[in-house]
């Protein structure tokens, strides 16, 4: 661990590690809307990369999904496979899947929800399965960002939940970096699990979106790491400005995240303008790494810049992790870390 990780913390600076929030099922439901940076996402302000025609085709397909055209008697378009109740955006990280999912949500009418996979599974944990069904059953559209498979039990619950909702008329749109038939490959092999995934994928039309990670088109592929003195200067300057900044030892924060359910991370970072981290180091425990990924996702959604010293933040996952079954999650997180870290003062916003 870097020596600076042991430096005495400035006790005038609040720490995320001191925050242990609670969250109720009703609060989770109230939060099931697109994150702030996608508050105004639309098909019109999506900027496709014209080197990748699938991005333009995705917009057209999603517009048809949200406003399905009835098939006439003489239409070649039949009410069969063309009209599956779900659509699945499959593509690499940074190709605009979340923007398109949010645009779909904004364009839809009637009751609708938008959340990450972990938010929906947390809702089941908070309300119970049957109460969650009752809560979501009126929805015309449910959007699930980052359908992931950290736990086969969670995934089986989610696929059954979607099956019940689809059966009562709810349409579902989801994103992932992995096609639905391939979810869980290399990680779980239980027959029940694979059967559940197969049943889910039968309800979805898969829409492949190719392209480059937009977060890395105009930046270097490295997260910014500052010297300890530079971090301290930035922290003090931001405090003098009156900015809401937190500062944590990296290891302490990682341990704290292990005591807080990931559904509560959104409250851990609430009302924070800048996050400062001391002594970033290489992670060797996969559970710690996955919690960090979930934390970075929430920080990215909230658009909170990170000032970090020690190891570059996108280099915290060890070689074994980057070669394993969760490598796509780590790669997406690395992309977000590159976009979030800064060595400069954020703009002054009074």
Q: What is the DSSP string of 44-71?
A: TT----TT-HHHHHHHHHHHHHHSPPPP
CATH topology for 225-342 is: Rossmann fold (3.40.50)
Beta bridge partners of 205: 87
Asked if 334 and 314 count as a contact pair (C-beta separation under 8 A), the reply is: yes
The CATH number, out of the four listed (3.40.50.2000, 3.40.640.10, 3.40.50.300, 2.30.30.90), of the domain defined by the range 25-69+80-209:
3.40.50.300
Which pair of structure tokens corresponds to residue 285? 């425990």
- Please list the pLDDT of the chain residue by residue as tens digits (350 residues): 444 544 444 447 999 999 999 888 888 898 899 988 899 999 999 998 888 899 999 999 999 999 876 655 444 444 445 578 999 888 776 788 999 999 999 999 999 999 988 889 889 988 899 999 999 999 999 999 988 755 677 878 888 899 899 999 999 998 876 544 555 444 433 344 445 566 777 788 888 888 876 655 444 578 999 999 999 999 999 999 999 999 999 999 999 999 998 888 989 999 999 999 999 999 999 999 999 999 999 999 899 999 999 999 999 999 999 998 788 788 889 989 999 999 988 776 55
pLDDT at 26: 83
Residues 138, 170: Cα–Cα separation, whole Å: 8
One fold for 25-69+80-209 and 225-342: yes
Burial 128-160 (b: 16+ CB within 10 A, else e): eeeebbebbeebebbbbbbbbbbebebbbbbbe
Residues 255, 143: Cα–Cα separation, whole Å: 31
Burial of 18 (0-12, 13-18, 19+ CB in 10 A): exposed
pLDDT at 91: 79
Domain ranges of the chain: 25-69+80-209, 225-342
């Amino acid at each position: 661990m870097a020596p600076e990780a042991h430096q005495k913390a400035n006790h005038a600076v609040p720490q995320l590690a001191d925050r242990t929030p609670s969250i109720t099922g009703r609060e989770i439901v109230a939060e099931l809307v697109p994150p702030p940076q996608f508050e105004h996402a639309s098909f019109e302000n999506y900027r496709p990369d014209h080197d990748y025609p699938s991005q333009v085709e995705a917009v057209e397909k999603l517009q048809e999904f949200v406003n399905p055209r009835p098939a006439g008697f003489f239409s070649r378009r039949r009410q069969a496979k063309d009209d599956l109740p779900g659509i699945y955006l499959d593509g690499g990280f940074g190709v605009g899947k979340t923007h398109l999912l949010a645009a779909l949500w904004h364009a839809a009418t009637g009751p609708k929800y938008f959340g990450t996979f972990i938010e929906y599974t947390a809702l089941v944990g908070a309300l119970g399965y049957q109460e969650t069904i009752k809560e979501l059953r009126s929805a015309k559209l449910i959007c699930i960002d980052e359908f992931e498979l950290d736990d086969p039990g969670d995934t089986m619950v989610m696929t059954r939940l979607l099956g019940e909702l689809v059966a009562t008329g709810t349409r579902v749109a989801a994103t992932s970096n992995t096609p639905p038939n391939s979810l869980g490959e290399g990680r779980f092999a239980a027959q029940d699990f694979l059967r559940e995934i197969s049943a889910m994928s039968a309800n979805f039309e898969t829409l492949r979106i190719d392209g480059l990670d937009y977060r890395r088109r105009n930046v270097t592929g490295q997260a910014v790491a500052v010297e300890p003195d530079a971090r301290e200067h930035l922290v003090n300057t931001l405090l003098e400005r009156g900015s809401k900044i937190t500062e944590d030892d990296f290891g302490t924060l990682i341990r704290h995240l292990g005591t807080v359910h990931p559904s509560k991370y959104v409250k851990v970072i609430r009302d924070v303008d800048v996050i400062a981290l001391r002594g970033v180091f290489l992670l060797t425990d996969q559970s710690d790494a996955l919690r960090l990924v979930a934390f970075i996702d929430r920080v990215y959604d909230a658009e909170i810049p990170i000032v970090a010293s020690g190891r570059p933040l996108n280099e915290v996952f060890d070689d074994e992790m980057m070669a394993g079954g969760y490598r796509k999650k780590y790669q997406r997180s690395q992309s977000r870390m590159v976009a979030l870290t800064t060595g400069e003062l954020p703009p002054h916003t009074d």
